[in-house]
Structure 1
Amino acid sequence: MHSLIIGCGDTGTRVAARAVAAGDRVTGVVRSDASAWRVRAVGAHALQLDLDLDALELPACERLFYFAPPPREGEADTRMQRVLDALPAVPAYAVYISTSGVYGDCGGEWVDEDTPVNAQTERARRRVDAESRMLAYCGHATVLRAPGIYGPNRLPVDRILDGTPILDDAEGGWSNRIHIDDLAAVAWRAGDAHWAHRVYNATDGHPTRLGVYYDTLAGMLGVASPPRISWAEAEQQFSSMRLSFLRESRRISNQRLLDDSGYVFSFADFRAGLDASMRAQAPLD
């Protein structure tokens, strides 16, 4: 079978490696030379394209993995539409990685896939649009709504070492996450099956307060926990994007994913995931 991975970055390269190991022909669509090198390093073919500007001549595929982000502006994923229009045929399997941000702020309540979307930022509304486009194009596609993705070289190590403050948990909400290896494994499994539903929360199912996550990582680094600041102070110090994430609080259930896929998480406990990520982390300069 042919696996086509649109936006073959960190997660996509991990999926590409699994597809190569399964005997698939694999094409990873990337933009940069560095990304192309990483795709080729796992035995896949790299196709360098600018999805917004280049004429798109894409190969037919049996498995489509769409991991490219939407454009930076607007409320529509025109980038995805260009890709879908360029595909010669609807694939047998299609997987799109979206974001749990489509739920918006839920006041710390538990969220499952039956919770209505309530995107409160333009960024999240682009993701809602992308989900709709993918499912309209391929009715049997699987949409994976991922929260914060962590893993090797995807940790806030510099912030902790620099003593950058975080919002006090008393004024903040809940955070959810998934280790990048688990996300890639779930995506690959979704690309080889038609599960009972179309939308799944791709999260480890163990939400925590943000401070717990940062304190645990600080302990592994052998440094002091980050200082806490109030919401009023955060509004003065943090970027508008960071504040937009902090304004939303929800606890995300992954029960549907567990029930339908049978997947067993390698890192359901973020502490184990942090430890493995630190061991694999590239050394700091």
Structure 2
Amino acid sequence: SGDEVFALRRGSGTPLPGVEAVRADLGDPESLTSLPRSLDGVVFCAAPSSPDEPGYRRIFVDGLGNLIESLAGAPRPPRLIFTSSTAVYGQSNGEWVDESSETRPKRFNGQLLLEAETLVHDGPLPGCVLRLGGIYGPGRTWQIDSVRAGRARLSPGEPHYTNRIHLEDAARSTQHLLLLPEVEPIYLGVDHEPAASNDVLRFLAAELGLPEPPMAETQPPRRAGSKRCRNDRLIESGYRMVYASFREGYRSVLDAV
């Protein structure tokens, strides 16, 4: 669209077409002085270098805080979009949740992301938080791979609800929020259909022409709480999902393989 796009990178790596790399380290406030001073918007979607509690704190609390402090001195502070996660919710019994629902995460990842959200809300930059569901799409095919390899297992007992968003919708909804005239403090970035994990596995097996995965003998450990997230606020802001549910999204992934 003619916009200049910059990517903060700690190392060299493969250049991205149409993106100018800026060498800096979120953990080193001095290095952040190299950031352009006339940015219109900033998307914070960094990933921790390690999936443990210190790794999360370094990137989402310390790193985000350093970035906010650096950008606060810009002549015109940019809009900040922080990509958080539905892990900030602690609900685990299939409850419906939206942006106003209670946030009492049970694990460190959700707790630290919630702390990071507070930095955004209380900080000097205009902006908002986008709480993304599980991201899938090109390069994020672990669930397809588990069904294809025969590792997937159905869960006994009550349905375990999951929430997801295709990688393309995650990127497009972020861009959408950057361009809106005004934003709400929080949006949920999920597709239209929270889905029971067993339904997703059965669907993938059918699409792959494989038998239904076997039922696990015991309840396997759950990666996240069972909840159903509403995307009404994002849709009412004018965003239109490219992939309305996991069915359309996973079919597009499988068609590309």
Category of TM-score, reference length = shorter chain:
0.7 to 0.9
Question: Sequence identity, in percent?
Answer: 29
1:175 aligns with 2:151: no
The answer for unaligned runs of 5 or more in structure 2 is none
1:95 to partner: Cα distance: 0.9
Q: Say yes or no: does 1:86 pair with 2:70.
A: yes
The CA deviation at 1:231 is: 4.0
Q: What's 1:8 paired with?
A: none
Q: Is the 8 A contact 1:169 1:210 kept in 2?
A: no
Report the equivalent of 2:212. 225
Runs of at least 5 residues in structure 1 that lack an aligned partner in the other structure: 1-21, 236-242
1:70 Cα offset (Å): 5.1
Residue of 8, 19, 24 corresponding to 1:49: 24
CA contact (8 A) 2:189 2:234 kept: yes
Q: Secondary structure at the match of 1:68?
A: coil
Identify the residue that residue 254 of structure 1 maps to in structure 2: 231
Partner of 1:19: none
Decide whether aligned partners of structure 1 residues 173 and 149 sit closer, same or farther in structure 2, where only a CA change above 3 A counts: same
Q: Is the 8 A contact 1:96 1:134 kept in 2?
A: yes
Query: Counterparts of 2:36 and 2:23 in 1: how far apart (Å)?
Result: 13
Matched, 1:29 2:13: no
Cα distance change on mapping 1:278 and 1:32 into 2, 3 Å: farther
When residues 157 and 269 of structure 1 are mapped into structure 2, their CA distance, relative to the original with a 3 A threshold, is closer
Superposed displacement of residue 173, structure 1: 1.5
Alpha-carbon spacing, 1:94–1:112, altered in 2? closer, same or farther (3 Å): same
Normalised to the residue count of structure 2, the TM-score between the two structures is: 0.86
Q: Give the Å deviation of 1:153.
A: 2.3
How many pairs were matched up? 245
Q: Deviation of residue 79 (structure 1)?
A: 1.4
The verdict on how the C-alpha distance between 1:70 and 1:130 changes in structure 2, with shifts beyond 3 A counting, is farther
The secondary structure found in structure 2 opposite 1:184 is helix
Matched residue, 1:193: 180
Matched, 1:64 2:39: no
Q: Tell whether the 8 Å contact from 1:153 to 1:277 is kept in structure 2 after alignment.
A: no
Match of 2:95 in 1: 109
Mapped contact 1:96–1:131 kept (Cα < 8 A):
yes
**1:158: which partner in 2?**
145
The partner residue of 1:214 within 201, 222, 226 is 201
CA contact (8 A) 2:154 2:213 kept: no
| Cα separation, 1, equivalents of 2:228 and 2:95 | 6
**Once the 2 structures are TM-superposed, how far is the Cα of residue 230 of structure 1 from its aligned partner?**
4.1
Aligned counterparts of 1:271 and 1:24: Cα–Cα separation in 2? 33
Q: Determine the C-alpha separation between the residues in 1 that align with 2:148 and 2:53.
A: 33
Deviates most, 60-69 or 49-58: 49-58
- Residue aligning to 1:149: 135
Native 8 Å contact 2:77 2:126 kept in 1: no
What amino acid maps onto 2:139 in structure 1? Answer: N
SS in 2 for 1:105: coil
Q: CA deviation at 1:164?
A: 0.8
Q: In structure 2, which of residues 244, 253, 257 is the aligned counterpart of residue 268 of structure 1?
A: 244
Question: Partners of 1:224 and 1:49 in 2: how far apart?
Answer: 49
Of stretches 65-74 and 95-104 in structure 1, the one that deviates more from structure 2 is: 65-74
Deviations along 1:26-71, one digit per CA (max 9) or x if unpaired, are: 101134544x42x2x2x11012433225732222211111111357
Q: Normalization by structure 1: what TM-score? A: 0.78
- C-alpha distance in 1, partners of 2:191/2:229? 9
Partner SS for 1:166: coil
Runs of 4+ in 1 over 6 A off after TM superposition: none
Distance 1:85 1:230, change over 3 A: farther
Specify the alignment match of 1:5 in structure 2.
none
Question: Are the aligned partners of 2:130 and 2:188 in contact in 1 as well (CA < 8 Å)?
Answer: yes
In the superposition, relative to structure 1, how do residues 277 and 79 fare at CA in structure 2: closer, same or farther (>3 Å)?
Answer: same
Residue among 198, 202, 205 paired with 2:192? 205
